[in-house]
A and B are shown apart, each in its own frame.
Chain A
Amino acid sequence: MIHIFDGAMGTMLQDAGLAPGACPELMNLDHPEVVEAIHRKYIDAGSTIIETNTFGASSLKLEHYGLADRVEELNLAATAIAKRAAGTRAKVAGSLGPTGRFIEPLGDLSFDEAYDTFHEQAKALAKGGVDYFIIETCIDLQEMRAALLAAKDAAPAIPVICQLTYADDGRTVTGTDPQTAAIVLTAMGASLIGVNCSLGPEELIPIVKTLAENTDLPISAQPNAGMPRLENGETIFPMGPAEFGSWAPKLLTAGATYLGGCCGTTPEHIRALKSALAGQEEPVRPPIPKRLWLTSRTKSVCIDKELPTHLIGERINPTGRKKLAAEIAEGSLLSVKKEALGQVKAGAAVLDVNMGVPGLDPVPAMRRAITEIAQITDAPLSIDTSDAETLEAGLRAYPGRALINSVSAEDERIEKFLPLAKRYGAAILCLPITEDGIPKTIDDRVNAIKTIVTAAKENGLKDGDFLLDALVMTVSADKDATRKVLDTLAAYRRVFGYPSTMGLSNISFGLPNRPLINSTFFAMCLAAGLDAPIMNPYDEAMMRALKASAALLGDDPRGFAFSKDEANLAVPKKAAEQKTTDLPILEAIKQAVIEGEKDTIVPLVVQAINEGYPSDDITNKGLTDAMTIIGEYFGSGRMFLPQVLLSAETMRAAFDKIKELIPAAAKAENGTVVLATVKGDVHDLGKNIVSALMANSGFRVVDLGKDVAPDEVVEAVRREKADICGLAALMTTTMPQIDKTIEALRAKGLSTPVMIGGAAVTRDYAKSCGADHYAGNAVEAVKLAKEICGVA
């Protein structure tokens, strides 16, 4: 059946006398007849579902008007008006709009505050007797999750329509794509999924299509009347009723059977929409395959027997990792986040998160870890815990569809974990362990999984929510361990058809050369149907086995990717590029410095010393010559600052080695340079670069740091008998401190040459402030310094 929503409420209220800046929801009390008349106009135009005038009737929105304590009153009044207008002609949907604030960590509103706000409003709407809840115009999936949970808790029997708003790039403001939205909201128990506002009907068509391809739920679409513009101080939506209506059949074909309008639409638009849909056939939507999807806020990943293997990264787990555990216990998640990014880079598609540190409260630890990891990676997460409260904290905080690791056939897990999986729309990793322990036979394993799946389905979970663990035992303790795993994989496919997983490394416990056993076992399991191993993606042997298996099993057709992988080539490409080694040693040193090859320089220097070259030759003919060439390259635009710095690092490594081996080689200095970033200026990277290059070029550098007062500079120049004083300032606001410092120097009778530089500093400024020299960049500064000291 095709259902017709109403159109805009706000603009209609303004036309009927709502003052700009006044609270639209207050009209429910002050002018109920106006609100009712608008509802009637929409019903007369053909609406079969009208929305209550409660879009902003949540405490957080009403706060702006000082009405936060009147949530129930305003929602009840609005519901009564809508029901009166609807009679038996239309259904009433209670409208819930966004709070206007972002949920942590994107904003300053907590998930629980958002939930409470929506719960209070939904309770009132339910009390008033709405037929649906409609959560609309949400731009953040996490806010939608809070609202959906709240609405379902407030009145479990009332269907919930969830409409997000997408920008012109096809994603919500916070990055969620319609596929991810459909997966998350379907799993969490929305009754209808849709889209409204922001875009016109044409732009909504691809979004509706994507939604329809990713859920079996009905789809709703309520576009704007085109994109708004302002004329004579009024916001105009350019699309007229006829054109608006003409898009309706296309939205219907795309999959939307609940259609209406948002900003700029009027009863005439709805009438046109209705008439355009008259006689139209409802689209037939084939049921979507029930595959296992996991999502983050912005990305969906499918684990399925027909798709290539996905890795679940196991490294975010402090068990047996003392350093990581200690760091987590101290409250730092830096290494955890490093593991997150590192594993994704290494090829993990899903990240398992375990926060089990002895003595640490796992609930806040999991909440924080999930929140922070979700901020830096779009890989979906798996929440690894045996504690229900910890699990819920993680699930609540996660703005996507997580995997629960794990649910066994033990009573407590079934009782506590399955309702949470349903409530938060998570998938479950099923572990064939019963109250009696690990089943001995394949049949018993299958039966244990059956117990979990049956209980899960009783809790409302569905096909597509399960990942089955084949439970790996140790082959050194049980010679049939591998066979059992392979047979279990086969049995899972045969009996359930769900995708499978396992933690692999247990198989080799107690054996030598575990990498070989593990990777061989891995290849066997992949052939037997393993879909998503939980493993260490940094393990090269395993990754090689995975890539080879992909080529062998057809996931990498004709081994194309395998052939392109440099690791598999007989002669690595890199080998051809190694040039420095064939050169005479001093030339090789020079080249290594120019190329910034920090790792090769030290052995080259050692070799030169061993071959009997005096340190002066190494320094002059190798290092200094290199620096001269680098200066030329930099000046002519062939080399750039970071490259110069790599060379500088290389050179420093060479110097350090020479000094270490021939302490007498500590050279007489070219001169002393006092460097400072002036008072008030905290940007000192530029000055630091000058300092590093000067030091490399044989100057004794006294670096006073940043935010240095004129007096300090004066004192240092005198104390150190400086040959040059270098001053840096980044901004126009701090540049005058250069003048002051020079003044101070001269006032004390110091005639030391002053060189200045910095982003906003110019040659003209240098002249005007009495500086002796201006350096546009660090390389130029070194060159000038050499000239000043007569060592050029």
Chain B
Amino acid sequence: MVVVPPSAHHHDTPGSPTLEIRNITKTYPGGTQALRGVTLSLRPGVVHGLVGANGAGKSTLIKIIAGAERPTTGELRWLGTSTDWRRPADAQSAGVAVVHQQSPVVPALSVLENVYLGNEATGLWRPQDRIAEFAALCARVAFVIDPHTIVAELSVGDRQMVSILRALAQNPALILLDEPTASISPAERAGVLGAARSLAASGVAVVFVSHFLNEIMQICDEVSVLRDGQLVDEFDAAGMSVERMVSGIVGNRLHAVEAFKPAHAIGEVVLDVRGLRSTSMGSVVDLEVRRGEIVGIAGLLGSGRTSLLKAIFGADRRVSGEVIVNGESISASPERAVAGGVAFVPEDRLSQGLIADWEIWRNTALADSRELSRRFGLIDIAKERALATRAQNDLGIVAPSIDAAVKDLSGGNAQKVVFAKWIYKTHHVLLLDEPTAGVDVAGKADLIKLIRDLAARGIGVLVVLSEFEELLSLVDRVVVLRHGAIEAEFRADDVSVAELTASVGGLA
């Protein structure tokens, strides 16, 4: 799908605003001000980008627009009249539709049934009556799909399109896309982005929230930057640049760390993967990582990136091959891998990396019970808490205290807790699966610095990253994975993002 650049969409008469947000503040019980006087105007036919770091007040603003929270002071004006939505259903019936990062769909039902779920119009469900209507919806977002496909069989990206269709079926005047592309592969993002543009072209007011600034650049007509609950910058397509957004988001914070790649020493081989294949891998892999070296794995979703990391860590059943860490062969079990000095930071922090309900200090102690306990397996709580406090200081984990539950932390801070679980005991190999996914710009910079520091300490790092620009700025060497096999290898300095993208897609 071709994404039409925003410049082609300039409206001579933008029309009267669909939703006006006038000097909104939000103070939570307990005194925290999440929003401090935000004024915004969302107009039909315009894609309005909303960016800001985690904790900037973005989520609160989204909730207010969606009717899930009420502002403390200020006014919402819907189509010119003052309004007071008390629950999401109020906003929905007024004409606001919301698509979340992972909008719930019912996997067992068909696409058509999902799109009209709760909106069946009559008690009798007659799919044939809705087909024409469905086709019209699809046409509006230029999406082609068989309405009778069962949703369980769809990719994450297609499911996201189903969510968008579902939102669209309510015939909204305003559609709120809350990080709609965060969990789908780059290849599928174009469809979602195109849908956002098509929606605006059909006269809907679109709010687009994303951490991906390139996407904002690509499709937004105007952008608002939130920081500390305030609107710190607003600009239209003409005034838009990634630099301007980044400096708005992070304030005066240095963000150059990402681009600066320090020279560091690379030592002997610390991870030697020989003829490795697990039950979930399509092919045999050989790979070496040296001490101090950061090796990237580039590949499309489904190319076997995660499977490779899991096979090395012993989390999947091994079919053949050997993993040698620091000269010692490690049998295939996470326990042995951890004992051998290997750490794994999985893709999904809250479901695989942490115990969401537990406090920071019990999570940071999760992987290191031997070092942190006394004789007879007696837990040393003082030691565990000291470690968590140290991690909080070393990694800059922003939390009220080490007794905070990790599920209450922002993405970047939760990820730092996952790192903290490992870095004080891992001496050899660090396996990272999308370590910066869903992390805001500031948190990303911290994590990248942390990964570099760990490599500088002599740890061999193997990292999967879907953002190739970020990947190339981080790694020394990158291997390309296609269908589970290593198809190419580059020195990071010798390859461009375009070349890497081509190689990953099998074009070079």
Binding partners A and B:
no
Residues of A within 8 A of B (CB): none
Residues of B within 8 A of A (CB): none
